[in-house]
Structure 1
Amino acid sequence: MKITLTQFVTLDGVYQAPGGPEEDTTGAFPHGGWSFAFDDEDFGTFMTEVFDRADAFLLGRRTYEIFASFWPTATGPDPIASRLNTLPKYVATTTLTGADWKGTRIIGADDLVKDITALKEQPGRELQIHGSGALASSLMAHDLIDSVNLLTFPVVLGTGKRLFADGARPTAFRHTASRVTSKGVTISTYDLNGRPTYGSFATEQ
C-alpha cells in the first residue's frame, strides 16, 4: 500500500483544530473550528473520492480519539462512516494501551518506522492518514508518505501548529492534481519526488 496524507491547512500553514473549538487547545489555541465556514458540496465530493480509495487508516492518537468519539455512532448511508467503521485502523501512539473502536490496532510503541514500513509492504491501495499532523511530520522525515492531498483554506490565523515547521526535512514533491471548491478551498495533490534541486538566477560575472 502507498501511504497518503489528507491534511487541512490555513494559508499560513496551520493544521491545528480545524473541526471544532475543543479538538486541540494546546498552547491556548483560540481558533478551533476554522474550517467549518468552508464546507460545501465540492468539499464533500472530494472527501468521498478520497475515502473510496482507502484500504486502511493510520491515525495519530489525538485524531483517533476525535474520530472514535463520532464515527462509530454515525447513522445513515454515509460513505465515509462505512469506510472508517469497517476497514482496519492503526493508531500510532506511545500512550494508549488499547482501543475500543472495532478493527483498531495500536502500533509504534517500540519502533514506529519499522511498524509502518511493514504496513506499506502489505497489499492494497492506500493506507490513509487524515489530520494527525505530528505523526505526518514524523513520517515525512523518513520519506514514508508517498502522496499528500493538501486542502488550503483561505484564512490566516497567525498561531498554531504547522505541518511544515522549522526543521522539516527538505523534500521535493511533484504536483499531480488540483481543484478549487465553490468556497475557495484549494485542493492540491503532490507525490513525493526526492530532494530539492538548487540553482541560481545570479548573473555570471
Structure 2
Amino acid sequence: MAISATMLMTLDGVVQSPGRADEDTRDGFTQGGWAARYGDEVLAAEMGKGMAHTGAMVFGRRTWQDFISAWASATDGNPFTEHMNAATKYVVSRTLPDADAWPNSVLLRGVGDVAALHGPLAIVGSASLVRSLHAAGMVDHYTLVIHPLTLGSGARLFDGPAPLTEFSLTGSVTTPKGVIVAHYSRVSPARR
C-alpha cells in the first residue's frame, strides 16, 4: 500500500483553512481562504494530474465533512467532482456514528485501520490525520502545494515533533502566480 498526501501550505507551513474564511476557525484563526487567489490553469492541471493517479481516498473527520458540502451534491461536470464522488472514501473518526452522508464512504476508527487497507491511497488535506500517519511511518509520498505567503499563525503541517524521515524530491512545478508544487517520495526509514 502506498499513501500519498497532498497538502496546501504557506511558506511558514500553515495548512489551516486554505479554501474559505469559515473552513476552519479553530483557535480563533481568521485568515482562512488564503489559497484562493493563487489558483490558475497550471495549478489546476497539476492538481488534476494528482487525481489521475489515485485509488481510494482517506480523510480525517473534519475534512470529510467539509468536502461533503462542496462535492457530494455537485453536478458541474468537473472531472475532480466526478472523481471525488465515485472514489471509495475512507473517513477516520472516533466520533462519527457512520459514514452514510456521502456515498462510497467507509468509516475507520483509527490509524491502525488505515494500515490494514490495500492499494494506493490519497489524502487531500486532513492535517491531523497526516501528522498521525507520518508519525507511524505510513506516508510514502507528499505533494506540497506551497503558496508564496506567510500567515504567522494557524495550524502547521508538523505542529510538534515528527520522526526523522528523509524524502527525495521527485519533481516540481512553479505556477505563474508563484505557487510551488513539490513532489516528494520517502527514502528512509523503512515503514514500521
TM-score clears 0.5: yes
Structure 1 residue 72: Cα displacement = 1.6
SS at match of 2:23: coil
User: Which runs of no fewer than 5 residues in structure 1 stay unpaired?
Assistant: 196-205
Count of residues in Structure 1 that have an aligned counterpart in Structure 2: 188
Q: Which residue of 2 aligns with 1:104?
A: 105
Asked if the contact 1:23–1:32 (Cα under 8 Å) also holds between the matched residues in 2, the reply is yes
Once superposed, which parts of structure 1, at least 4 consecutive aligned residues long, lie more than 2 Å away? none
Per the normalisation by structure 2, the TM-score is 0.95
Q: Which residue of 1 aligns with 2:137?
A: 143
Q: How does 1:1-205 map to 2 (within 5 A)?
A: 1-99=1-99, 100-108=101-109, 112-119=110-117, 122=118, 124=119, 126-195=120-189
SS at match of 1:178: strand
CA distance in 2: counterparts of 1:14 and 1:113, whole angstroms: 23
Structure 1 residue 35: Cα displacement = 0.2
Structure 1 residue 24: Cα displacement = 0.4
Asked if the contact 1:19–1:34 (Cα under 8 Å) also holds between the matched residues in 2, the reply is yes
Structure 1 residue 194: Cα displacement = 1.3
Asked if the contact 1:54–1:83 (Cα under 8 Å) also holds between the matched residues in 2, the reply is no
Which has the larger Rg? 1
User: Which runs of no fewer than 5 residues in structure 2 stay unpaired?
Assistant: none
Identity %: 38
- What value does the CA root-mean-square deviation take over the aligned residues? 1.0
